[in-house]
């Protein structure tokens, strides 16, 4: 099992918090009334002694576009793993909106609650057509019988068609996803993500392997999506981050080093010190 139990190294009784098992899984449906989509508080996780994340606090507002940068090993991907249920933190809490406790849900439940994720390596279903890839990702019930009985109707069909148009894959609609170019696969995966209609999108390195035109188009796509969806973008390419023109959070050694606009970040002394001499010093 890839799920370590919650560490219980802390004293058994602490008056400022309730027992782990008393924290409900989900009080109600998604509640975003306070304007914050994601709360990560005091998160720590270590793998075989390596502290990947330590006492991290991270908040994402609804409809916000946020960039997450940091040197290799800063904990960016681990953070995404925690939010999507792939990794369980040793301590801390993670809530989606006010009422959904992410630490008590599994990957599929988190996805159904409204968090979508694009992986670093484009991972599309290579032996299914572009159409099928989009169809499977489309929001809807996911239980066995409903999936077996699912039929396409005019509305869902035009949604798939419109999405294929948006990601410029209409001509390849019935081609196998495996036959697409690297950039096209990246787009297909972004398209799949949007088809899920998530409240929060986690996008890991969307610009990797893209040409400049493709990159511009991706920036355009992401900026249009922000507002309707909260988006967290992890990216190494500083030109791309600059083009997104959004607040930036810098991670370093598993905690937040700085937060602010790109200009503020670039003039921040701590950030300069961390990046200086490292491979990622492209900014």
User: For residue 257, what are its two tokens?
Assistant: 């080093």
Q: Identify residues 237-256 at the interface with another protein (CB under 8 A).
A: none
Task: Give the gyration radius of the chain's Cα atoms.
Answer: 20
Q: How far apart are CA 250 and CA 275, in angstroms?
A: 10
Q: How far apart are CA 181 and CA 172, in angstroms?
A: 11
Residue with smaller CB distance to another protein, 18 or 170: 170
Quick one: CA dihedral 240, 242, 244, 250, positive or negative?
positive
Among 14, 15, 174, 212, binds another protein (CB under 8 A): 174
Q: Is 111 in the site for another protein (CB under 8 A)?
A: yes
DSSP 8-state assignment for residue 26: B
Among 53, 69, 100, 192, binds another protein (CB under 8 A): 192
Q: How far apart are CA 19 and CA 171, in angstroms?
A: 55
Residue with smaller CB distance to another protein, 41 or 161: 161
Q: Is 171 in the site for another protein (CB under 8 A)?
A: yes
Q: Identify residues 114-143 at the interface with another protein (CB under 8 A).
A: 116-117, 119, 123-129, 131-132, 135-137, 142-143
Among 23, 30, 173, 208, binds another protein (CB under 8 A): 173
Residue owning tokens 């009080």: 27
Q: How far apart are CA 251 and CA 68, in angstroms?
A: 7
Residues that bind another protein (CB under 8 A): 1-2, 84, 86, 107-108, 111-112, 116-117, 119, 123-129, 131-132, 135-137, 142-144, 147-150, 152, 154, 157, 160-161, 165, 170-171, 173-174, 192, 196
């Amino acid at each position: 099992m890839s799920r370590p139990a919650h560490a219980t190294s802390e004293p058994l009784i602490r008056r400022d918090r309730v027992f782990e098992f008393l924290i409900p899984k989900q009080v109600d449906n998604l509640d975003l009334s306070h304007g914050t989509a994601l709360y990560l508080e005091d998160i720590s996780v270590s793998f075989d002694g390596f502290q990947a994340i330590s006492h991290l606090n991270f908040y994402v507002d609804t409809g916000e576009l946020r960039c997450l940068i940091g040197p290799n090993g800063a904990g960016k991907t681990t953070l995404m793993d925690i939010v999507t249920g792939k990794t369980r933190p040793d301590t801390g809490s993670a809530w989606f909106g006010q009422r959904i406790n992410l630490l008590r849900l599994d990957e599929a439940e988190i996805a159904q609650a409204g968090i979508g994720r694009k992986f670093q390596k484009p991972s599309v279903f290579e032996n299914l057509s572009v159409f099928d890839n989009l169809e499977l990702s489309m929001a809807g019930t996911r239980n066995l019988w409903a999936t077996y009985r699912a039929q396409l109707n005019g509305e869902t069909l035009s949604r798939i068609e419109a999405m294929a148009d948006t990601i410029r894959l209409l001509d390849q609609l019935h081609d196998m996803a495996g036959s697409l170019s690297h950039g096209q696969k990246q787009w297909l995966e972004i398209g799949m993500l949007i088809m899920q209609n998530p409240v929060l999108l986690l996008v890991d390195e969307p610009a990797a392997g893209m040409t400049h035109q493709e990159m511009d188009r991706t920036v355009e796509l992401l900026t249009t999506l922000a507002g309707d969806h909260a988006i967290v973008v992890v990216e190494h390419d500083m030109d791309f981050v600059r083009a997104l023109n959004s607040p930036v959070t810098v991670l370093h050694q598993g905690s937040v080093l700085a937060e602010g606009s790109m200009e503020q970040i670039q003039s921040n002394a701590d950030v300069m010190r961390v990046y200086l001499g490292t491979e990622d010093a492209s900014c």
